Amino acid sequence: MNLLANKVAIITGAGRGIGRAIALKYAQEGASVVITDLKIDETVEAFVKELEGLGVKAKAYASNAANFEDAHKLVEAVVADFGRIDVLVNNAGITRDGLMMRMTEEQWDLVINVNLKSAFNLIHAVTPVMVKQRSGSIINMASVVGVSGNAGQANYSASKAGMIGLAKSIAKELGARGIRANAIAPGFIITDMTGALSEEVRKQWEVQIPLRRGGTPEDVANVATFLASDLSSYVSGQTIHVCGGMNM
């Protein structure tokens, strides 16, 4: 299949985990792929070579998604290098968990800036490009806890609820310009982020999942491919849960 032929996609925080799986799947579907991360090391450079090996154009940029200037410079560079931007995946995200009684202002600010302000920064930067093209697909990586809430993750859950509200608002504001915006709400996905949890916590999660397994980054990448492609041309303002049936 070549679902994303002739499309240029930016995926933030794609050095590893879910973002990396999305970049790989997009390249397999024929997209030109821009990956960003805080640092571009040898592993990421090797990944870019792997993507190029699939016959597509690929490039990695060191860029802090939480920084407004960085995001705008990135988009300028991508337009200069690739000529257009069809898909933006706001994937960069972190956790700094803690109960409210103990949560510091720094923990709150960091998570809101990296998880939510980053999406504002990138959407703000790509909007003029997509409006000019009269097309574009924006995908915000939210989380099931952005819908359900989670004790010990007030900062993270609030940031992910924000990602859903942001996607819905952009869908309403820019739909007439041919731009779609959706959110993906992954459940428990096996990556470095969840690898930091104890075995006991991971087991507790798994028994709550009707499909009885943690998700893979590829499970999320498949849905991100659908939302980036023209298969979803009449889908906008939605949140698709990728959680093995955990949240309904």
Query: Quick one: which of 4, 7, 9, 17 contacts ligand NAI (CB under 6 A)?
Result: 17
What's the start-to-end Cα distance of the chain, in Å? 31
**In this structure, are residues 32 and 8 in contact, taking their beta carbons and an 8 Å threshold?**
yes
Q: Is 155 in the site for ligand NAI (CB under 6 A)?
A: no
Residue closer to ligand NAI by CB (options 32, 157) is: 157
Smallest separation (angstroms) from ligand NAI to the CB of 225: 15
Residue closer to ligand NAI by CB (options 199, 234) is: 199
Query: Quick one: which of 4, 10, 22, 36 contacts ligand NAI (CB under 6 A)?
Result: 36
Site residue total, ligand NAI (CB under 6 A): 28
Q: How many CA atoms lie within 13 A of 74 on its CB side?
A: 31
Residue closer to ligand NAI by CB (options 108, 188) is: 188
Burial zone of 96 (CB within 10 Å; 0-12 exposed, 13-18 middle, 19+ buried): middle
Q: Is 188 in the site for ligand NAI (CB under 6 A)?
A: yes
Burial zone of 99 (CB within 10 Å; 0-12 exposed, 13-18 middle, 19+ buried): exposed
Smallest separation (angstroms) from ligand NAI to the CB of 220: 7
Smallest separation (angstroms) from ligand NAI to the CB of 234: 25
Binding part of the chain for ligand NAI, among 59-67, 72-80, 124-132, 231-239 by CB under 6 A, reads: 59-67
**In this structure, are residues 22 and 224 in contact, taking their beta carbons and an 8 Å threshold?**
yes
| 179: three-class secondary structure by DSSP | strand
Q: Which residues are annotated as a binding site?
A: 13-16, 91, 156-160, 189
Smallest separation (angstroms) from ligand NAI to the CB of 146: 8
C-alpha 202/C-alpha 207 separation (Å) is: 9
Look-up of token digits 């490009």? 129
C-alpha 170/C-alpha 197 separation (Å) is: 34
Look-up of token digits 């309904």? 248
Per the annotation, the verdict on 156 as an active-site residue is yes
DSSP type of residue 114: I
Binding part of the chain for ligand NAI, among 47-55, 73-81, 91-99, 174-182 by CB under 6 A, reads: 91-99
Smallest separation (angstroms) from ligand NAI to the CB of 184: 8
Residue closer to ligand NAI by CB (options 176, 198) is: 198
Q: Is 162 in the site for ligand NAI (CB under 6 A)?
A: no
Sheet strand arrangement including 136-141 = 58-62, 32-37, 8-11, 87-90, 136-141, 179-186, 239-242
Give me the residues that bind ligand NAI (CB under 6 A), please: 12-13, 15-19, 36-38, 64-66, 91-94, 114, 118, 141, 143, 186, 188-189, 191-194
